[in-house]
Structure formats: C-alpha cells, structure tokens
C-alpha cells in the first residue's frame, strides 16, 4: 500500500513539474501540467462547462479550452454559396464575402457583442461587404448572416484587436 501511495505522489509531482502553455482562462484558481503521455488541466470558478464523449472524440465546452480555435459556427450549407469573413482578427475593416453561383435574396447580417446584444444590423448589398470595426472596443464579437426569412446561414466568431 505504501508503494502505491508513493508512486501516486511521485506521479502527481511529475505532473506539477512540467507546465504546458496554452490559451488563458480567467478563473479563481487552476493549473495545467503534463507528463509522458498525460496532460492535466483544471480551473475553478467557471460558470458553464459540459463534456460529451463519442467513439472518436471528446468535446468539452465551456471557458477552459486548452487548444481551441473557432472560426465559424453553425454552418448551414447552401449549395453553391460560400460565406467568408476576413481579416480575422480585425483592427479596422472587416470584409464579408459571398462567393458562388447561388444568390440568396435579402441576406442580412448582425453583429453581436458577447452579452448577446445586437450592435449592428444591415442588409448585405455588396460582395465583399465592408464593416467598419474601428468604433468598437477590442474583444470578441459574433457575426451572424441570415437569409430573407431571417434563418441563420452562418455564424462567425470575430476578434477585434
């Protein structure tokens, strides 16, 4: 029994001796460490988190994401239409471009802050459509593109520098 406890404490010490750098999270406490073939990360103080396990992947959603880059969410395919947003991250002008043979009538877009408040809503008239981001503070925004029936076509996470 003493051997098992000593081995477990040695394993924990090995994990704490190696620090893995990744994305940052603001929480009341937490740490990240790695050993041979093992990584351990934890935080305290997050308000929402859930993990789903499938046959070939594990999805953890919440604020603590150690290796996560999201560029588009809710991809609803429209044949022969590709919507792109660039540059992202953006400092002054964000461009929204529709490429393809199919035209979606009365497309609109809305820019949301992270509180879910609509801060800009416009009709998509030109491609590329230019969105002046200079008046907004640095941070993360959500850009949603809608068809004429106000159904979402695509959602983008936009970083304003």
Burial of 38 (0-12, 13-18, 19+ CB in 10 A): exposed
Are 57 and 76 found together in one domain? no
Are 122 and 156 found together in one domain? yes
Encode the chain (161 residues) as per-residue pLDDT tens digits.
Answer: 667 666 666 665 555 554 444 445 556 567 777 888 777 776 665 555 567 677 776 666 655 555 545 555 555 667 777 888 999 889 999 999 888 766 667 889 999 998 889 999 999 887 789 999 999 999 999 999 988 888 888 889 999 98
Per the structure, the complete domain to which residue 148 belongs is given by 72-160
Are 56 and 93 found together in one domain? no
| Other CB atoms within 10 A of residue 94 CB | 24
Final residue of a domain: which of 62, 85, 104? 62
What CATH number corresponds to the domain at position 76? 2.60.40.3760
Q: Would you say the pTM of this structure is higher than 0.75? A: no
Report how many domains make up the chain.
Answer: 2
The values of phi and psi at residue 3, to 5°, are -60, -40
Are 34 and 84 found together in one domain? no
């Amino acid at each position: 029994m003493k051997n098992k406890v000593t081995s477990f404490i040695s394993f924990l010490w090995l994990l704490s001796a190696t620090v893995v750098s990744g994305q940052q999270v603001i929480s009341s406490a937490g740490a990240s460490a790695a050993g041979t073939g093992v990584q351990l990360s934890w935080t305290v103080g997050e308000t929402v988190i859930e993990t789903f396990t499938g046959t070939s992947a594990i999805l953890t959603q919440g604020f603590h994401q150690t290796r996560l880059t999201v560029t588009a969410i809710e991809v609803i395919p429209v044949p022969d239409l590709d919507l792109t947003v660039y540059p992202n991250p953006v400092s002054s002008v964000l461009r929204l471009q529709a490429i393809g043979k199919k035209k979606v009538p009365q497309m609109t877009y809305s820019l949301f802050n992270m509180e879910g408040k609509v801060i800009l809503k416009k009709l998509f008239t030109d491609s590329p459509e230019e969105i002046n981001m200079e008046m907004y503070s640095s941070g993360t925004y959500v850009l949603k593109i809608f068809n004429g029936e106000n159904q979402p076509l695509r959602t983008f996470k936009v970083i304003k520098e």
